[in-house]
Amino acid sequence: MDGHPLALHFSERGMKILRFPLTRLILALVFLIVFAGLGLGIGAWISKGLLGGESEVLGSAIKMLLACSFTWIGYIFYCATVEGRKVHELDPRKALRQTSQGLLLGFGFISLIMMVMFLAGGYHVSGIKTAAVLLPVLIMSVQAGIVEEILSRGIIFRIAEEGIGTWWSMVLSALIFGFLHIWNPNATFFSSVSIAITAGVILAMLYVITRQLWVPIGLHIGWNFALGGIYGAPVSGGNPDGILDASFSGPDWLTGGAFGPEASIIMVIVFVIFGFFLIQKSIKDKSWVKPMWRNNQ
């Protein structure tokens, strides 16, 4: 803890309770819900009240910008007051380089997966749409990348890691991240498990290796945008509308069915292999954190 000037101060016992991982996890979630909700509420008011709901894309862009900004502000304010520190995991000096790396990783892996699916006869392209279809997918991708990474890696994984260690925190956060998608359209038990063991593990390990949120944010944005915006595939069960007019055929285990390629066995295999190398690197770099009960051993 840095001793931030906005930090809350209580008695010694009070500070132990405040800084206990479970306490901080609950408080961080409250901060995120309040601030993100406030941003979305103001965005909806501007979209409907001032714009009259006439431009759906502009309204979505405003809600996205405010939701991301307020989530960011809420996270910074939480870290300052409750944890008493600056947000080192969102170091602005590393933003451009690491976010770009994440974007390239996301686009590259999705491209590899779609190429394998194409060669296997499960993916077909019949034409090209106008570039106008890219904007709604970009808005969705940026909002999901920033808000979900602050929630899943910045709050759930990071804080849980301090209490139960890297391994169990990765398992916990991956399962939560995967099964938060169970309410998505066309979701199945397997689709949630697939997201948990692919995106849930990969994004957590990228945070462990870099100790920054930028690469996970970039990969999350690049993943969603490439999948939905470029290749015209469903993103987590949503309706596809990408620049490529595409269709899928074949068994669900190959294409992911109505949920999309995130529930495909191809996705699972590619990302399990990638995750294995990330775990090996984290072990080599000794970037893992022990559980609280083993810190004195």
Least confident residue range of 123-132, 185-194, 220-229, 232-241: 232-241
Rounded distance between C-alpha atoms, residue 290 and residue 173, angstroms: 16
pLDDT tens digits, 29-41: 999 999 999 999 9
pLDDT tens digits, 208-249: 999 999 999 999 999 999 999 999 999 988 887 889 999 999
Which three-class secondary structure state does DSSP give residue 85? coil
Residues with Cβ within 8 Å of residue 229, at least 6 apart in sequence: 133, 134, 137, 138, 141, 242, 243
Beta strands in 41-194 (DSSP E): 123-128
**With DSSP H G I counted as helix, E B as strand and the rest as coil, what are the percentages for the chain, rounded to 5?**
75, 5, 20
Question: Is 274:206 a contact under the CB 8 Å cutoff?
Answer: no
**What type of residue sits at position 20?**
F
Q: Exposed/middle/buried for 209, CB within 10 Å: 0-12, 13-18, 19+?
A: middle
pLDDT tens digits, 266-295: 999 999 999 889 988 888 888 888 887 776
Number of H helices, E strands in the chain: 11, 2
- Can you give the pTM of this predicted structure? 0.93
| Residue 297 in this model has a pLDDT that exceeds 70 | no
